[in-house]
């Protein structure tokens, strides 16, 4: 259950969940409440303006302030803005058309159209370090945390943002084009800007009731468990 205004919604497989009332989404005056109401905006609904240099610096600072076992900083970021973003959109378009030779040339290319239209795109790169005690798994988790902090910082500052993978995150030529090493992976592209005025009104997506995803640890009764 939640004490915030919501409606209960059934999921595809019958699981219950809820959607918050639109008016409480992205409540930004209280950090704890923000974390309970945060909501992304799909990239198709994001347009200019994006953050200015000072706002971008604050977003990136937040991205780098995450739990990171051993201070390995197993993540890095590539910013796409202005002409660089346009060039990357063109490059993605070409790459996709090479792979999809039969596609109509004027059809919008998936993901490339978002790179073209959203004012700030940030690729988050998982960049693990060889460490005798800290496995790559923990470093992946830290990278996910960096992505979420980045996303949340942007939304908390009033921007519209979305974390997407899409085909470019899994395409070997994209990784090569962006200069990734063989040990690195794209954790996602984070799109940041302003929610379009003509976007459909903000609404929630179904969230699980936390109680359905949580159990209480109960030590087993060893005597009862042991075979006679």
Q: Whose CB is nearest to ligand FMN? A: 40
Q: Is 177 in the site for ligand FMN (CB under 6 A)?
A: no
Give the nearer residue to ligand FMN in terms of CB position, either 36 or 177.
36
Q: Is 206 in the site for ligand FMN (CB under 6 A)?
A: no
What are the DSSP calls for 93-109, one per residue?
HHHHHHH-TTS-TTSPP
- Token look-up 């005597």 returns 223
CB of 228 to ligand FMN, least distance (A): 49
Beta-strand relationship, 120-126 and 75-80: antiparallel
- State which of residues 10, 65, 183, 205 lies at the interface with ligand FMN (CB under 6 A): 205
d(CA 26, CA 49): 19
Q: What angle do CA 211, 217, 220 make, to 5 degrees?
A: 135
CB of 86 to ligand FMN, least distance (A): 21
Rg (CA), the chain: 21
Q: Within 85-114, which residues bind ligand FMN (CB under 6 A)?
A: none
Q: Is 159 in the site for ligand FMN (CB under 6 A)?
A: no
Give the nearer residue to ligand FMN in terms of CB position, either 8 or 52.
8
Q: Is 188 in the site for ligand FMN (CB under 6 A)?
A: yes
CB of 21 to ligand FMN, least distance (A): 15
In the structure encoding, which two tokens stand for residue 53, read together?
């240099």
3-state secondary structure of 191: strand
Give the DSSP H or E segment for 117. Answer: helix 112-117
Give the nearer residue to ligand FMN in terms of CB position, either 28 or 205.
205
Site string for ligand FMN, 21-60 (x = CB under 6 A): ------------------xx-x------------------
Q: Is 165 in the site for ligand FMN (CB under 6 A)?
A: yes
Give the nearer residue to ligand FMN in terms of CB position, either 142 or 162.
162
In the structure encoding, which two tokens stand for residue 67, read together?
């739990």
In the structure encoding, which two tokens stand for residue 162, read together?
């979305």
Other C-beta atoms lying within 10 Å of the C-beta of residue 4: 14
Binding site for ligand FMN (CB under 6 A): 39-40, 42, 162-166, 188, 205
């Amino acid at each position: 259950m939640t004490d915030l205004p919501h409606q209960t919604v059934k999921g595809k497989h019958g699981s219950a969940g809820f959607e918050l009332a639109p008016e409480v989404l992205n409540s930004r005056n209280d950090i704890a409440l923000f974390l309970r109401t945060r909501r992304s905006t799909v990239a198709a609904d994001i347009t200019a303006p994006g953050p200015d240099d000072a706002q971008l610096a604050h977003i990136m600072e937040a991205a780098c302030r995450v739990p990171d076992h051993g201070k390995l900083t197993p993540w890095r970021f590539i910013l796409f803005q202005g002409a660089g973003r346009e060039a990357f959109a063109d490059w993605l378009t070409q790459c996709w058309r090479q792979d999809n030779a039969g596609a109509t040339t004027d059809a919008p290319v998936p993901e490339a159209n978002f790179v073209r239209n959203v004012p700030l795109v940030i690729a988050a790169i998982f960049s693990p370090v060889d460490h005798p005690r800290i496995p790559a798994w923990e470093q992946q988790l830290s990278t996910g945390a960096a992505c979420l902090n980045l996303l949340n910082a942007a939304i908390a500052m009033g921007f519209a943002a979305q974390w997407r993978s899409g085909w470019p995150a899994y395409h070997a030529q994209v990784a090569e084009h962006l200069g990734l090493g063989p040990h690195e992976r794209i954790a996602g592209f984070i799109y940041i800007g302003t929610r379009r005025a003509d976007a459909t009104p903000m609404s929630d997506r179904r969230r699980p009731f936390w109680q359905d995803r949580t159990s209480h640890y109960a030590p087993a009764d060893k005597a009862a468990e042991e075979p006679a």
